[in-house]
Structure 1
Amino acid sequence: MTIATRLDCYLSDNHIDYETVKHNHSYSSLHSAVAANIQPVSLAKGIILEDHDGRHLMAVLPANANVNMPQLNQSLFASFHLVKEHDVYEMFEDCENGAVPPVGHVYHLPVVYDKALAELDFIYLEAGDHETLIKLSRDSFIKLMGPNSRCLHFSRHVFH
């Protein structure tokens, strides 16, 4: 497997320019960044959240950051929490477990992405397996996030 089927179709159908970057097998977004020799701040990861009514949201942020939940919830006037990992696997059936592409709307999820990513020249993201990244320009990344996504500041760096 390389690029997840849904993601591959979306990239092609929407004429989004990208490059693929192969790397040694990895087990996390941070490990993928190291394996691909890129800065962790340049690798976008997707976190699945759920509110008390069972509505889901994908938060996209740099690999070296965590979601600042109070800040995100305040910005969205909501009360989200992390979804259990095994529930995420069911939502992304065309991906290897733990290699979720941070492109929520392709999987019918609303998206919020961190402002830090929109300030980069190039953004990388998991392609759906543990050995392939997709490299996008800023414009292609914003296009990939979708027209209904929101750009907010909601992450806090774990390390630089």
Structure 2
Amino acid sequence: MIPQNILQYLERHQVPYERRPHLRAITAQALAQSLHVSGFQVAKSVILRSEDAFWICVVGAPDTVDVDRVAEVTGAKGLRLADEAEFADLFPDCEVGAEPPFGRRYGLPVVMDGHLGEAETLLFRAGSHEEALELRVADFVGVEAPYLGAIIHDRPGEARRLPFDSEALQPDY
């Protein structure tokens, strides 16, 4: 079940969403399979740690975060993947491994891969392994104001690019 404070956060910011219950799914790819959608329709949160902060990286389910590219986009120093034990306390209302992408709710900066801008809607984990939220990408970007950039390892046969002008949005973290 999605924690009530996440739903209240979205409602307070007038972000429309659809709740999508599903069979228990631990990985983002399993979530996509459970809902019978492409992994590219599911956004996952990957938590990184820098010298002075934790970061939420939002990428497609089949993608892998490129830590060096995240550092380029954000300017963060000493970035690395965080261990679950390091960040579990940051999301006390959520199941470990189902961290939501709502950094403003948890006081964390968010960086989002530019590929996700190609979708109209995405499915997001929201603290539960048995229910997801479907939101419009524009609404997510509007409420979270993430850093935007090419932050994943290149997909086979695809050149590094962004589908929109990432310089147009400047986060106010």
Give 5+ residue unaligned stretches, structure 2. 157-173
Shift of residue 5 of structure 1?
A: 2.9
TM-score normalised by the chain length of structure 1: 0.89
Q: Which amino acid in 1 is paired with 2:32?
A: A
Q: Which amino acid in 2 is paired with 1:65?
A: D
Spell out the pairing of 1:74-89 with structure 2 (5 A cutoff).
Answer: 74-79=72-77, 80-89=79-88
Q: Secondary structure at the match of 1:155?
A: coil
CA separation in 1, counterparts of 2:136 and 2:19?
12
Q: Hey, which of these two has a bigger chunk of strand by percent? A: 1
CA separation in 1, counterparts of 2:64 and 2:16?
28
Spell out the pairing of 1:55-66 with structure 2 (5 A cutoff).
Answer: 55-66=53-64
Equivalent residue for 1:125?
A: 124
1:155 pairs, out of 135, 152, 156, with 152
Q: Secondary structure at the match of 1:66?
A: coil
Q: Secondary structure at the match of 2:24?
A: coil
**1:50-83 Cα distance to aligned partner (Å, 9 max, x none):** 112x312111111110111122222333331111
Select the structure with the greater relative contact order (CA < 8 A; seq sep ≥ 6). 1
Are the counterparts in 1 of residues 113 and 152 from structure 2 also a CA contact under 8 Å?
yes
Equivalent residue for 1:115?
A: 114
Q: How many residues align?
A: 155
Are the counterparts in 1 of residues 74 and 147 from structure 2 also a CA contact under 8 Å?
no
Spell out the pairing of 1:25-44 with structure 2 (5 A cutoff).
Answer: 25-44=24-43
Moved over 2 A (4+): 74-79, 156-159
TM-score normalised by the chain length of structure 2: 0.83
Give 5+ residue unaligned stretches, structure 1. none
Aligned-pair identity (%): 26
Q: Secondary structure at the match of 1:75?
A: helix
Alignment root-mean-square deviation, CA = 1.6
CA separation in 2, counterparts of 1:94 and 1:157?
34
